[in-house]
Structure 1
């Protein structure tokens, strides 16, 4: 068939499938008129605009949220009923607070100028702590005359479920009220259809000049150079009469908590100041995404849409951070083990042994208007759980946690070999149990992410390529876990099953005409002959033959995949390729990070260096030096930065962990607890890094500070300090 005819056939096949809106799709109906900033503490987060307002400008998911419910939908500041002018808006480096600097416009009364512009300096400072949002508003008159003005704060709430904020429509809602409960306090209250009472207690200090159910007004008479301040706190589900902690006491306590998060983790310093900023921003973002749970600290997936426990995201983030702080993995594993499915529930896509996809605490989840209260529609979380358990134990030697987790590991393996393989062909597959579930259940979970070469969407039980790699790695690692706890027969069985899977996989998934692996097998076992980044993640799992690994890697580094910024999810030229799509041609930093671990596994450090450089350059262009969840897959051009994706989460956990994973892949870091040794296998630093200093890199009870320095294509190692018994070495293999 001629090229033009083949292309037309692909377009027709795609056009035949109606572009229906996917369930739980996140709409973008217009541009944000003001940039947004986000803060988070445990289960509470807030999205404000650049002026420090909530709900004052279009285009953003504004609000104060707790456990998937909005507790404040509007909080807008005005001076004599006009908006102040923005001077600047900055997050503190550790993400603990947001500071907004404002000034007054020209203010007229009865046609007469009563306050000239730029006379008032207004500083709004925000932070979150223990279910409450705190705000200080500082004012100073820099004019030569007395400033007389009113400052009004307008506030309101809808107690919307997060899925409503995302665009889901509801036929019925609960009842909301607003009432004064004193000269300084207002209660915004709601009783949902689930019968659960919710409230937002808004407290003002000092008491306003006038207070109504939705507005607080202060009248000020400020002398030249006089300063004053007022404080506002909005508390989620506090008791009537509750008084929040004083602003500065809470702020200091919050900052102490954030500093404590990073204690015990290794620290990184490099020769490149910009990369140091990237690393610092990444760790600050991870700090606010970490959430205290009954089972330990857990990295919530991202703000605003995914600030909750996600299985896949937590597992991959913990895997990315394993070398620098294995405590994250312990918290993730314990929490997911606690919520492992015990029974069959079709609406939740739950089956015994399956690991959680996500959990939600809002009204719609409680009423099962959405299936996500505890939802298990993720085909990869279960093998990733086993993988992380094995990697964590090998990284730490923590046999006590292994014994605690082993029943959950066995249950997960039981799901992999049982319900996870419904047609018993030896591959783990998925198909949603009800129409309410996610149509695609791998990490590329858009409705159009899995398709054939002609663009036709896949039907039936779908076997994703990378999931088979996860199962292969999971069984190898579980085999070694079984040996540790004295189960040699189980160990041999798992090792044999892994090798059998690898043989079946090569036969079923390899596409000779493409020189890479199929994206997936459909319900009829037909391969989706599509060039996709999923093949790159296979390298990370080790399931790929050595000769074919080099073919896959070479393909990923060609221009149809590699843009100069990173590797696309789908290669240019494939039927559904769209560089502005969510999963069909965009670039995901975490996807690239896992691919670099795979490239390093097969000794392809020159390719690691290219991807590392691309993502470093991307971060250098980004606001705050922060890698977003994803960005558009346009080819890199000289003197132009990367193109943003409009509704990407930022911060987002596995994107934030990516710089650390890239460094791990470049340095080839390995840990051997039994020998008390840290090895750097074929280390190679990119051109923008002349040295890397790692401090407090731990192995068991010992730790080391060291410096790795670049010498053309070689790297030297200098041990700066050791604590306890530890060996460090460079291993060169070819």
Structure 2
């Protein structure tokens, strides 16, 4: 049973170095190694399978010492290592730090392999000789097994074998796929044991010696012939690195260009955009953003939709591909095990052994309540940025099916609320973005009883119906537009009555069974503010409540108040700080005129990023107060990079600059532009609205920011207002 979405029940990966290219990704410890034993998340992964789960280098039996590591490019990792004191039965010892070991790893997704080069340099004054061993372990574990959610060993592993100087691992899966990992070396090892390659390193003073390793992964039907490693290892990675760099730069070149006078903000933005380039994945020749490394490298309805929304001002095209892709997997039947229903948008799509063999429902799993309204909302916001009505016409049938599902989902008493109740023993108990089993809690700490209507889900429905109504208006179907607007207005009226709690001075987390309020203070109402469903006074009061000390940690707003019974600073959804959650809340604050709160959140998240490797925002941070710890505390198994965390700062830039597009009218409105305290100038070049574009510069003033429209292209008017 998969009753929770904790990312993993394994040891911390907070210090992991991660690289990814399409569906191939590598997660290694900060010392460049993958432990051979223990429950951990490190490894080499492809298609929801950890092919390689152990990889250890040793110098005369001892681990090297790591000096530095980097994975800034996303597709490559570089480690600088040195030796500990090495002693031998015969011959002189090698003093510590006398050897330099440069270990380069590059992912080649086209060949589904990793190409590695280890360059050993002797910095000493005499020649050195020593054994270098590489130990491997290939378990072919399914991602659900690695995460500790399912303990099933379905397939059969062959005994590892050496053939023609290569190490072969083979696994016969229960899904009738044969998975292989083949490791080749140049030069050939001097000695070979079970799963260990040993090299005799003899390097003169001041000279270098090189070892190249290629790890190729394959999966093919049991009936197909194996085709192991046609290409030999190469000691020159320059051409491959150059091609990968060019591809990455070409994708980034299609974005709106960002610059500011803040080195910190420039670094965070560059890191965010490069992480999103890294998280791109492909399914059916359509690109989408995979949710996060290492646990969620897959299509996730909610995650992929939200990050596509965050990126509309910078890269709108991927939103259209994501919408088409999710429409192609829209539910068509009732399947309780998969929680599929007609019109429902997919939650998660997995391609690993357990999913393909039917042991978990995730080959197509629909256990989410909010992906469907978010699908509609993204379609509307995408149209506002691009002026593209053709996509709406193309997806009109999926749109109507989605609206039909919303009308029926969980609403057995006619209140008009979108609710969920888990129907699958293999599914998720909670089905909003806080989907761990203990996320939706009452004031006494007990678990809320379904059916549950989440505060933010109602906001998504409200905004989705208004956005789709505008599209129907534009294609001349005014009656349908009027009907949807009327439904949204009635939902708004009920919502502001039923979800408001005067004692809290804020909207509640949810309504549970029999319409009872789950009256805890949480971050969820921030999403509702983003959608505009709240009455003005209630919206402003909620924003102010969420900025009080029990919610605002100093690094951002917590998921749950410290005053609540179930608060836990390292509870996945019970007190942690999530960048994307804060970005949506900041947008909500701006909508209700609480600009200072939005800027305070922006500054806190940016200052938190300063303390993470490469300024990369993780999926979540622990909720400890900033006054107690002067650095943000790592959440031990958070994904990094993670898509909607990477999109958080670009979205906050869009929000705080007040960008409101109307591509159909050839207009960009800039409403109450503001800059956070650590920035005095922001420039956007090539910002696209429909077929037109603009170069804009924002400069801080005493009461906000002035806007300089440096250039426009096409038919675009820019209006600045308050």
- Normalising to structure 1: TM-score of the pair? 0.93
Structure 1 partner of 2:636: 646
Alpha carbons 1:178, 1:213 under 8 Å: kept:
no
SS at match of 2:460: helix
SS at match of 2:141: coil
Alpha carbons 1:36, 1:60 under 8 Å: kept:
no
Residue 87 of structure 1, CA deviation: 1.8
User: Which of 67, 81, 86 pairs up with 1:102?
Assistant: 81
User: Which of 377, 385, 389 pairs up with 2:367?
Assistant: 377
Structure 2 residue 104 is matched with structure 1 residue 125: yes
Task: Specify whether residues 208 and 591 from structure 1 end up closer, same or farther in structure 2 by C-alpha distance, changes over 3 A only.
Answer: same
Alignment length, in residue pairs? 711
Alpha carbons 1:603, 1:682 under 8 Å: kept:
no
Alpha carbons 2:384, 2:664 under 8 Å: kept:
no
Residue 112 of structure 1, CA deviation: 5.1
For the residues of structure 2 that align with 1:578 and 1:220, how far apart are their CA atoms?
Answer: 51
Residue 557 of structure 1, CA deviation: 1.5
Structure 2 partner of 1:219: 200
Structure 2 residue 635 is matched with structure 1 residue 657: no
Structure 1 partner of 2:391: 401
Task: Specify whether residues 635 and 52 from structure 1 end up closer, same or farther in structure 2 by C-alpha distance, changes over 3 A only.
Answer: closer
Residue 250 of structure 1, CA deviation: 2.4
Alignment of 1:567-582 (within 5 A): 567-582=557-572
Bigger shift: residues 403-412 or 636-645: 636-645
Residue 472 of structure 1, CA deviation: 0.5
SS at match of 2:518: coil
User: Which of 53, 66, 70 pairs up with 1:90?
Assistant: 70
User: Which of 187, 191, 202 pairs up with 2:172?
Assistant: 191
SS at match of 1:107: coil
Structure 1 partner of 2:593: 603
Structure 2 partner of 1:174: 155
Structure 2 residue 536 is matched with structure 1 residue 546: yes
Alpha carbons 1:295, 1:335 under 8 Å: kept:
no
For the residues of structure 2 that align with 1:693 and 1:36, how far apart are their CA atoms?
Answer: 34
1:174-214 Cα distance to aligned partner (Å, 9 max, x none): 11124546433222110022222111121222322233451
Task: Specify whether residues 172 and 325 from structure 1 end up closer, same or farther in structure 2 by C-alpha distance, changes over 3 A only.
Answer: closer
SS at match of 2:450: coil
Residue 105 of structure 1, CA deviation: 2.1
Structure 2 residue 412 is matched with structure 1 residue 425: no
Task: Specify whether residues 697 and 227 from structure 1 end up closer, same or farther in structure 2 by C-alpha distance, changes over 3 A only.
Answer: same
Alignment of 1:10-49 (within 5 A): 23=4, 25-26=6-7, 35-49=15-29
Residue 301 of structure 1, CA deviation: 0.6
Residue 638 of structure 1, CA deviation: 7.4
Alpha carbons 1:23, 1:436 under 8 Å: kept:
no
1:7-41 Cα distance to aligned partner (Å, 9 max, x none): xxxxxxxxxxxxx9954545556556x93211111
Task: Specify whether residues 711 and 119 from structure 1 end up closer, same or farther in structure 2 by C-alpha distance, changes over 3 A only.
Answer: same
Alpha carbons 2:292, 2:642 under 8 Å: kept:
yes
Task: Specify whether residues 189 and 30 from structure 1 end up closer, same or farther in structure 2 by C-alpha distance, changes over 3 A only.
Answer: closer
Structure 2 residue 619 is matched with structure 1 residue 629: yes
For the residues of structure 2 that align with 1:390 and 1:566, how far apart are their CA atoms?
Answer: 29
Structure 2 partner of 1:156: 137
Alignment of 1:295-310 (within 5 A): 295-310=285-300
Alignment of 1:450-461 (within 5 A): 450-461=440-451
Alpha carbons 1:96, 1:258 under 8 Å: kept:
no
Bigger shift: residues 674-683 or 538-547: 674-683
Structure 1 partner of 2:118: 137
Structure 2 partner of 1:716: 706
Alignment of 1:328-727 (within 5 A): 328-637=318-627, 640-727=630-717
For the residues of structure 1 that align with 2:443 and 2:537, how far apart are their CA atoms?
Answer: 25
Residue 400 of structure 1, CA deviation: 2.0
- Normalising to structure 2: TM-score of the pair? 0.95
For the residues of structure 2 that align with 1:288 and 1:60, how far apart are their CA atoms?
Answer: 23
1:650-682 Cα distance to aligned partner (Å, 9 max, x none): 111111111111111211111121332222100
SS at match of 1:113: coil
Structure 1 partner of 2:190: 209
User: Which of 314, 330, 338 pairs up with 2:304?
Assistant: 314
Structure 2 partner of 1:147: 128
Alpha carbons 1:295, 1:331 under 8 Å: kept:
no
Residue 563 of structure 1, CA deviation: 2.1
Task: Specify whether residues 562 and 231 from structure 1 end up closer, same or farther in structure 2 by C-alpha distance, changes over 3 A only.
Answer: same
For the residues of structure 1 that align with 2:19 and 2:152, how far apart are their CA atoms?
Answer: 31
For the residues of structure 1 that align with 2:227 and 2:341, how far apart are their CA atoms?
Answer: 43
Residue 622 of structure 1, CA deviation: 2.1
Task: Specify whether residues 169 and 659 from structure 1 end up closer, same or farther in structure 2 by C-alpha distance, changes over 3 A only.
Answer: closer
For the residues of structure 2 that align with 1:442 and 1:218, how far apart are their CA atoms?
Answer: 53
Alpha carbons 1:564, 1:635 under 8 Å: kept:
yes
User: Which of 243, 259, 268 pairs up with 2:230?
Assistant: 243
Task: Specify whether residues 477 and 562 from structure 1 end up closer, same or farther in structure 2 by C-alpha distance, changes over 3 A only.
Answer: same
Task: Specify whether residues 591 and 168 from structure 1 end up closer, same or farther in structure 2 by C-alpha distance, changes over 3 A only.
Answer: closer
For the residues of structure 2 that align with 1:442 and 1:349, how far apart are their CA atoms?
Answer: 14
Give the RMSD, CA atoms, in angstroms: 2.0
Bigger shift: residues 587-596 or 112-121: 112-121
Task: Specify whether residues 250 and 636 from structure 1 end up closer, same or farther in structure 2 by C-alpha distance, changes over 3 A only.
Answer: same
Structure 2 partner of 1:200: 181
Task: Specify whether residues 395 and 86 from structure 1 end up closer, same or farther in structure 2 by C-alpha distance, changes over 3 A only.
Answer: same
Residue 234 of structure 1, CA deviation: 1.2
Residue 424 of structure 1, CA deviation: 3.2
For the residues of structure 2 that align with 1:558 and 1:319, how far apart are their CA atoms?
Answer: 28
Structure 1 unaligned blocks of 5 or more: 1-19
User: Which of 53, 58, 66 pairs up with 1:78?
Assistant: 58
For the residues of structure 2 that align with 1:610 and 1:271, how far apart are their CA atoms?
Answer: 19
1:511-564 Cα distance to aligned partner (Å, 9 max, x none): 122221121111211111111111111111111111111111111121122222
Residue 101 of structure 1, CA deviation: 0.8
Larger relative contact order (CA 8 Å, sep ≥ 6): 2
1:308-331 Cα distance to aligned partner (Å, 9 max, x none): 111100011011111111112112
For the residues of structure 2 that align with 1:429 and 1:325, how far apart are their CA atoms?
Answer: 32
Task: Specify whether residues 306 and 21 from structure 1 end up closer, same or farther in structure 2 by C-alpha distance, changes over 3 A only.
Answer: closer
Residue 709 of structure 1, CA deviation: 0.5
